[in-house]
Amino acid sequence: MNVPKVYESGVHPLDVNKRNPTTVYVDSDFAGADGRSTAGHVVFLNGGPVIWSSKLMKVAATSSAEAEVIAAVESVKTASHFRSLLVELGMTDSDFIDVHEDNRACKMSAESLKCHKRARHYQSKLRYLQDCHQNGSIKFHQTPTDDMIADIFTKALPGPAHKRHMDTMVSDLPQSIVEMTLSSDSQESPEDRKVEREDCKPTFEGSPSPDDSCGGDQKRVLQYACMARVGLGREFYDMMVEAMTSD
């Protein structure tokens, strides 16, 4: 039996471009809730979002650069783990991760390979980024704040900005899938739409859960975007989610 052919016959007819690197957009606000910053990132594969996170930092950052460095470290660790999984599955040939950052101080500090006096209290985290940059496993890109998709995970944005970032994340999603998803939602009965308050606990970190019933249209569209863009079947997608979220 030709296993690859059997697998290909059961997945969405989209090819996986192995040359495309894993792409990360990362951002952080500064001195938000309780004086702590909120870090957010989204990981893309072949133009589709596959992992996203919004998390309140455990410690209060003393500068915006420090907050951005802490956020960047977490995003690179997540993306590195995901890329290792792709390598094991034979789904990528790229040996680096594209990191989009809008804070110039964070980017310059990570690329300078120097010890900064004002960064000594978080030097270990900065050194991690410097090592990754030096060995070529990550490549930083300066991205304008207006184009920073991860900004949507760090704070409440004005309606137009929120919609723009959401549209960007699913811009390559085939319209037929969007229509199919929204159409299936509209056919649900009112009883099917009811969700008890205690059961409605949206997941703000990690990969989307196929069993999460209260994510709404946007979460389901993003889930289909992930599967469509990387050419995954539902069964294979569930297997990847389980592998990424298991201890």
The CA distance from 118 to 109, in Å, is 11
Among the candidates 156, 190, 205, a domain finishes at 156
The CA distance from 18 to 230, in Å, is 10
21/131 same-domain check: yes
What pLDDT was estimated at residue 6?
47
26/144 same-domain check: yes
Rounded to two decimals, the pTM is 0.65
Among the candidates 96, 130, 156, a domain finishes at 156
46/99 same-domain check: yes
Decide if pLDDT at 239 tops 50.
Answer: yes
Write out the two tokens for 130: 């410097």
**What does the pLDDT look like over 138-183, one tens digit per residue?**
999 999 999 999 999 999 999 999 999 988 887 755 444 444 434 4
Q: Quick check: 21 and 56 in contact, CB under 8 A?
A: no
* Average confidence (pLDDT) over 239-245: 64
Residue 2 lies in a domain: no
The CATH number of residue 122's host domain is: 3.30.420.10
* Residue range of the domain that includes 130: 11-156
Decide if pLDDT at 193 tops 60.
Answer: no
Q: Quick check: 228 and 174 in contact, CB under 8 A?
A: yes
Nearest CA-CA partner of 150 in 27, 23, 22, 24: 27
72/43 same-domain check: yes
The CA distance from 161 to 158, in Å, is 5
H-state helical runs in the chain: 3-9, 64-88, 104-112, 123-134, 159-169, 175-186, 190-193, 216-230, 234-245
183/61 same-domain check: no
174/144 same-domain check: no
What pLDDT was estimated at residue 5?
52
What pLDDT was estimated at residue 202?
40
229/184 same-domain check: yes
42-46, 80-84, 125-129, 194-198: range with lowest mean pLDDT: 194-198
Rounded to a whole number of angstroms, the distance between the first and last alpha carbons of the chain is: 34
Of residues 181 and 42, more confidently modeled: 42
Residue 128 lies in a domain: yes
Count how many domains the chain has. 2
Residue 6 lies in a domain: no
27-41, 66-80, 194-208, 220-234: range with lowest mean pLDDT: 194-208
